Amino acid sequence: MSVKQLFQLDGQVALVTGGSRGLGLQMAEALGEMGCKVAISARKADELAEAKKHLESKGITVVTIVSDLQKTDRIPALVDEVIAALGPIDILVNNAGATWGAPAEDYPDEAWHKVMNLNVNAPFFLAREVGKRCMIPRKKGKIITVASVAGLKGMGAGVQTVAYNTSKAAAINLTRALAGEWGQYNINVNAICPGFFPSKMSAGLLDTLGEAVIARSPLKRIGGDEDLMGTVVFLASEASRHITGQYIAVDGGSSAV
């Protein structure tokens, strides 16, 4: 197989959660450009419609599904819709996530449960459903968890995101645990740990800490509109077939120094 063929994804079916904007849309576009039929899910129909229009303008086959992953009992129906529209899922990108800022001593129960449900519970329940129905029977599959560099460490001064940091650390170890159990089925499970990228979720922190973040980064920049594309294609393709249970930090080198 040539190097070009290792990266091609022609005809494969990819599901990207939280795929209507930001990092999710960026990754959906990358997978579609490399030949995937793409399903994207999100809570808001209007944002999904905009994303669909954008992806179809690039010649990508795309299906949109309105789904609130905090309602985990509806995850089987989400998988049903993808399979009915496009066929069995080859690539799952667990990207949807949430954060909430508050001092740890006053952190609301509601906030903790919301972050944990979306960042830990939903990725597991969705991976379980896709693995059981699409990947284990066919002895192949790629699962990519979008964690965060926040899962590699505690919080710096002025940052009050205890649930987010905890949940992303859990997401990284969920990746390792699934990789260990499902390697026998030829399923690769890996994680991407983005640093700061402009997004609705990070806007508040970037407003206050953006200059400091850039100053600490060896590359002196934050993430851009194309900086996850190569990573997600690599982890979704045969080019990474001997890699599982790992994470790649895409953060301009900040976590290394």
Q: pTM of this prediction?
A: 0.94
| Closest alpha carbon to 168 in 257, 55, 223, 249 | 249
Q: In sequence order, what are the beta bridge partners of 146?
A: 192
Cα angle 122-43-187, degrees, rounded to a multiple of 5: 35
- Do strands 187-194 and 37-42 pair parallel, antiparallel, or not at all (unpaired)? unpaired
DSSP 161-226: -HHHHHHHHHHHHHHHHHHHHHGGGTEEEEEEEE-----TTTHHHHHHHHHHHHHHSTTS----TT
Give all domains of the chain, ordered by start, each with its CATH number.
3-250 (3.40.50.720)
pLDDT in tens, 204-253: 555 566 577 788 889 989 899 999 999 999 999 999 999 999 999 999 99
Whole-angstrom Cα Rg for the chain: 17
Neighbour tally for 102: CB within 10 Å: 14
Mean pLDDT of the chain: 94
Question: Does the pLDDT of residue 62 top 70, yes or no?
Answer: yes
Tokens encoding 108: 């609301």
pLDDT of residue 212: 74
Which candidate in 107, 164, 185, 247 is catalytic? 164
**Cα dihedral sign, 208-210-212-216:** positive
164 classed as catalytic: yes
pLDDT band at 154 (very low <50, low <70, confident <90, very high): confident
